[in-house]
Amino acid sequence: MRRAAGSSGHERDTALLIGKCVVAATLSWWIAHAVLDATSPAFAPFSAVLTMNVTVSKSVWQTLRYIAAVVVGVAVQAAIGFTAGPDLFAFVLVAVIALTLGQWQALGEQRSQVATAAFFAFSTYTSAATNADRAAQLGQIILLVLIGCGIGMAVNLSIAPPLRYRSAEQGLHALAGEMESLLDDMADGLCSGDVDAERAERWVASGERVQAAVGQARAGLEMAESSVSLNPRRFLPAHRSYLTFTRYRQSLSAMERAVYQLGSLTRSLGRWSESENTYTYGPALTAYADFAGRLRDIAHVIAELDTDTLAEQADEMCRLATLAQKALQNVLDAADEYGLPLADATRPYGVLIVEATRLMEEFQNTCDVLKDTTED
């Protein structure tokens, strides 16, 4: 709770969501129990909490699917109950039909609620004495669900509706942080000539972690984009400048390609550690280490991107990219001067040079994208 009160982030978002769920559930219970005197008042708070979500658009879709699932489940029970009666055979039919309809993909995550609603409806149906009471009880279930969903949506929209535009930024932070760590270790190992099998294996493992971070960054971008849809806060002046994600989408695409090249580079270095037992081409590898260090510096800036200071950071990245271009040229010059066997397919030097060139292209693309979008 101290972290939630002290700064924005996951802890505060979680605390806010819990608080909103408590408010929605309490209001729903009060209406269902005290106002309507419902037989099964728990349906209302359960529905209110179930449809509360981290984004407004997802809440809307989940609410619609949940209501549809409940209506289908209750309808199955009504159809079987009023024709076969409230006995064991009728329950078997309800279970078979409800569980089969629960496989309907259009209901998404709420598919299981078809059977849940049908079973609760069967219990309510069997406890009523007359068909009129049974029909009223089944209708009441749907009413309570609608009340709970309506209150849940109203609370989610009226109390700080979630706007997760920072998720796109945070996803890039995590990805760039992993890249920075790997490039830093590569620069250190190549500069010192310490590229044994153990270290090369560690680089390959780090490269796999970087690739996993791409998926997390893309999920963060999707979260940011979906949080804007249907969210009334997007019309407030304080948020309007943060609601375009083109720069993040383009930057992530360039970094994803860079991650692919980086993975290929780590695998090439792993093969180098297995096949090379001399340091004849040490100066070229030292130049390569300097190049990796320059890319690390760019990744460090990306790992600290802030929408509020993006213009200054984009300028810094472009300056660092110029230094990285010079470092890459030094690698090419050293490869030529010391006669690296680039054409020898059995040795990794040609791949190392090709991957360095491609890596530079993608880092430059990232810098250019961020620079261009800050000038729009």
Query: What is the three-state SS of the chain?
Result: CHHHHHCCCHHHHHHHHHHHHHHHHHHHHHHHHHHCCCCCCCHHHHHHHHCCCCCHHHHHHHHHHHHHHHHHHHHHHHHHHHHHCCCHHHHHHHHHHHHHHCCCHHHHHHCHHHHHHHHHHHHHHHHCCCHHHHHHHHHHHHHHHHHHHHHHHHHHHHCCCCCCCHHHHHHHHHHHHHHHHHHHHHHHHHHHCCCCHHHHHHHHHHHHHHHHHHHHHHHHHHHHHHHHCCCHHHHCHHHHCCCCCHHHHHHHHHHHHHHHHHHHHHHHHHHHHHHCCCCCCHHHHHHHHHHHHHHHHHHHHHCCCCHHHHHHHHHHHHHHHHHHHHHHHHHHHHHHHCCCCCCCCCCCHHHHHHHHHHHHHHHHHHHHHHHHHHHC
- Confidence at residue 319, expressed as pLDDT on a 0 to 100 scale: 92
Q: Which residues, including other chains, have CB under 8 Å from residue 101's CB and lie 6 or more apart?
A: 72, 73, 76, 114
- Confidence at residue 18, expressed as pLDDT on a 0 to 100 scale: 87
10-residue averages of pLDDT along the chain (376 residues): 47 77 92 88 88 74 88 90 81 90 86 88 81 85 91 80 66 84 84 69 79 80 66 50 64 81 74 54 79 91 81 88 92 80 70 84 85 68
- Confidence at residue 268, expressed as pLDDT on a 0 to 100 scale: 72
- Confidence at residue 230, expressed as pLDDT on a 0 to 100 scale: 54
pTM for the structure as a whole: 0.61
- HSE, side-chain direction, 13 A CA sphere, residue 168: 23
Whole-angstrom distance, CA of residue 7 vs CA of residue 287 = 42
- Confidence at residue 281, expressed as pLDDT on a 0 to 100 scale: 60
Given a contact cutoff of 8 angstroms between Cβ atoms, the answer to whether 143 and 19 are in contact is no
Whole-angstrom distance, CA of residue 223 vs CA of residue 226 = 5
| Residues 131-140: b if buried by 16+ CB within 10 A, e if exposed | eeebeebbeb
- Confidence at residue 297, expressed as pLDDT on a 0 to 100 scale: 93
CA angle 164, 225, 366 (to 5 degrees): 100
Whole-angstrom distance, CA of residue 125 vs CA of residue 138 = 7
Torsion on CA atoms 139, 145, 149, 154, rounded to nearest 10: 60
